Structure 1
């Protein structure tokens, strides 16, 4: 009894804490996870990086302005070799003079601007960056769907355990009542002591199971918090009950309607990957086109033998405008083989459509069959549980009236325990099958 009081005290404490905790419906829990889960946050950062990548590529097409300032001291002046006859007609033929040209100190400053006029690869890069951002958006959606799936399964697990706890508590109470009555009958000589001991063993086993499920429920709450990105130390409670969840064959009514593969985020991501592969191939081919660049430069320079004179003497300006056209002629077939690889990658992506469609069809078929089987199993296990409860009721009545045996009661309690275990397993399997069906149809989570 002390052990049982500890269990009830723990359950009472759990209920008291939950009463003061924030309440979450399933939708609330999913919405919270979409905002706070690290997986979603990281995907959002990837989306921000995709936007920054677009601006980075755009910046390559904007004017590039640079300024420079250089001061040079020619510690050892470089000499130029010139024929001696230029300065001395009497010099021998072939004689050279090592003459110094230039000044010991020189200065140079300039401002230059470069503008990309035309580059086919750049234009395609801009398109590819937009597609890459679209891919990041879809990857974010995929992360949200995965988080929604995990939260839903964890939420359902808690609801099933709550129902199991309530039934186990009723079982313990019923068996304790029967044990108390048996002890009274034993004291009057109507029941053997071994019958009381058998009931005590059964009651102890039931209390142990109740403790295990209680601990499992604590773990289930921790799992839900983890899947939501919720603080582990903060209490939480559920706003919905198991009875509010639809579990019927009506879930299967729309399965014969035409299915749109675009509902699946995996298919949408593959379409985006195909667009990226196409743009990659076009970008490589655009490398055969000329590049046109425009550059302008304006600067000053000066020279002096003494460093101090460099800043006092006049600086002379200079300016230049350059239009250059870069025409690729031969690159050793580098772009040819790059294009071949890119074309092969594009073919691989396009060939993946049939495989993905087959995989989706298989998942949908499996999820439909699994849900049908789970619902049928749940129906059968519910009937078995009702039957076991009725048998237990009858055997207890017979036992208290002295026309039944203690073994019949114990066997009936064992049957109830087994039926309850089978029922809750079937119930959880049906809930998971419901989630898997929604996932295979692409309707588990939508923004």
Structure 2
């Protein structure tokens, strides 16, 4: 065996051993979905936004509960004073002495609880509360859209890993066949049945097949890291993927397409925005109505005054309880409420136009997606038949080559034709599946169908 042949043979063994060593646990489609839903950054952010909207729609943010405030205070003062009595005398005729007050201290303490409650505000807070509930539901739809887009991204990468995995297997088989050709060519050359050219051709083919396999392996590893990014886990976690693909039956798909207008997430979001704008009109209208409020206070005061020159110090303690009601009616606010009403109505009309536009666009997108899917499915079926044809041609060419009836170049051409047919079939298979998933997203059923 020649040195060059040994190098190629050892290289083929090294690659094969490396491929075996890289075998990992199977990452099924369901497992990939679960990991993405649990770990993906975009989905986590979307869930946080839903939580914020959930907090906003709480009764604690509705304005229906009263406000209670408590205030208290303490004051301290100290006076040092001297009081003179000019021209005043005592009973014995002597001048009246000055009076000095030192450390005359005074304290004041107070504490009060105020309760305010809006009994009626023109129904503004009622519609605001309903609007917040609609915004929460809108945030859920937005999160659903994020999840759908993430799953499409996930399977775009997942299927690329699957395609490269199948291509790797095909290229490995091609390399093994080319390696066997070297052995056959060398034996034939030793027995004088062919020329050195056949050996060189086989070695060139092994070189090309090795390079193609190595490039595919590198692409496969890079794509696996891309998938780990989507799953938000260690980039170097090894895994294998499921290469089995099944397509939705045509009748079931037609039923899903017929219900698309009711389930498409873009249409549902637009409808929800229309409802929110409708509440905007009602909230603005509440500015024409009066506001009725209730209030109550309960307080305590303590005033400790210092003694003066003529009065002794006093302690005055007071407890206070009060109730009140108020009515506020903004009879004219300079036209602000009227402007808000007009703008809210215009916004509602605009959203109606947006909804009509989205419905038309979705209908167009569905028809396009359906046509693309059917076309890619037909291409996949043609490629499947093409693989069978080329496999049959390759098997016969192999027999003829072993009998010496065709040249190595003709045999290599049959091998290349089969290789191209197999890789084209792999590409067509996953292109068709991705087209199906895109169609499912438009019908609003991507999260409800077993992928």
1:381 positional shift: 2.4
TM-score (normalizing by structure 1): 0.83
Q: For residue 294 of structure 1, what is the aligned residue in structure 2?
A: 294
- Distance of aligned partners of 1:246 and 1:214 in 2 relative to their CA distance in 1, 3 Å threshold: same
Cα deviation code 1:365-395 (max 9, x no counterpart): 1122112211222222233333333333333
Of the candidates 16, 22, 28, which is equivalent to residue 8 of structure 1? 16
How does 1:77-88 map onto structure 2 within 5 Å?
A: none
Q: Are 1:302 and 1:310, in contact at CA under 8 Å, matched by a contact in 2?
A: no
Q: For residue 179 of structure 1, what is the aligned residue in structure 2?
A: 182
How does 1:204-353 map onto structure 2 within 5 Å?
A: 204-238=207-241, 240-242=242-244, 245-247=245-247, 250-251=249-250, 254-255=253-254, 258-303=258-303, 306=306, 313-353=315-355
Q: Are 1:57 and 1:126, in contact at CA under 8 Å, matched by a contact in 2?
A: no
Q: Are 2:134 and 2:276, in contact at CA under 8 Å, matched by a contact in 1?
A: yes
Q: For residue 82 of structure 1, what is the aligned residue in structure 2?
A: none
Q: For residue 203 of structure 1, what is the aligned residue in structure 2?
A: 206
Of the candidates 96, 117, 120, which is equivalent to residue 119 of structure 2? 117
Structure 2 unaligned runs (5+)?
1-7, 80-104
Of the candidates 367, 371, 396, which is equivalent to residue 369 of structure 1? 371
1:418 positional shift: 2.9
Cα deviation code 1:180-225 (max 9, x no counterpart): 1012212233222222212211111111111122222223332333
1:435 positional shift: 1.5
Q: For residue 155 of structure 1, what is the aligned residue in structure 2?
A: 158
1:33 positional shift: 1.9
Q: Are 2:305 and 2:315, in contact at CA under 8 Å, matched by a contact in 1?
A: no
Q: Are 1:297 and 1:320, in contact at CA under 8 Å, matched by a contact in 2?
A: yes
How does 1:125-164 map onto structure 2 within 5 Å?
A: 125-164=128-167
Partners of 1:181 and 1:190 in 2: how far apart? 11
1:146 positional shift: 2.2
Q: Are 1:50 and 1:133, in contact at CA under 8 Å, matched by a contact in 2?
A: yes
Cα deviation code 1:75-99 (max 9, x no counterpart): 99xxxxxxxxxxxxxxxxxxxxxxx
Cα deviation code 1:104-133 (max 9, x no counterpart): 875443221111111122121111111122
Q: Are 1:107 and 1:310, in contact at CA under 8 Å, matched by a contact in 2?
A: no
- Distance of aligned partners of 1:307 and 1:54 in 2 relative to their CA distance in 1, 3 Å threshold: farther
1:300 positional shift: 3.3
1:169 positional shift: 1.6
SS of equivalent residue, structure 1 residue 232? coil
Q: Are 1:62 and 1:115, in contact at CA under 8 Å, matched by a contact in 2?
A: yes
Matched, 1:47 2:46: no
Q: For residue 401 of structure 1, what is the aligned residue in structure 2?
A: 403
Q: Are 2:304 and 2:314, in contact at CA under 8 Å, matched by a contact in 1?
A: no
SS of equivalent residue, structure 1 residue 320? strand
Matched, 1:424 2:418: no
Matched, 1:61 2:60: no
- Distance of aligned partners of 1:58 and 1:440 in 2 relative to their CA distance in 1, 3 Å threshold: closer
- Distance of aligned partners of 1:60 and 1:357 in 2 relative to their CA distance in 1, 3 Å threshold: closer
1:14 positional shift: 1.2
Deviates more, 1:305-314 or 1:357-366: 305-314
Partners of 1:24 and 1:307 in 2: how far apart? 88
Of the candidates 356, 359, 363, which is equivalent to residue 358 of structure 2? 356
Deviates more, 1:378-387 or 1:273-282: 378-387
Q: Are 2:175 and 2:206, in contact at CA under 8 Å, matched by a contact in 1?
A: yes
Partners of 1:361 and 1:178 in 2: how far apart? 56
Partners of 1:412 and 1:294 in 2: how far apart? 92
SS of equivalent residue, structure 2 residue 316? coil
Q: Are 2:369 and 2:435, in contact at CA under 8 Å, matched by a contact in 1?
A: yes
Structure 1 unaligned runs (5+)?
77-102
Q: Are 1:30 and 1:147, in contact at CA under 8 Å, matched by a contact in 2?
A: no
SS of equivalent residue, structure 1 residue 313? strand
- Distance of aligned partners of 1:222 and 1:317 in 2 relative to their CA distance in 1, 3 Å threshold: same
Q: For residue 85 of structure 1, what is the aligned residue in structure 2?
A: none
Deviates more, 1:57-66 or 1:355-364: 57-66
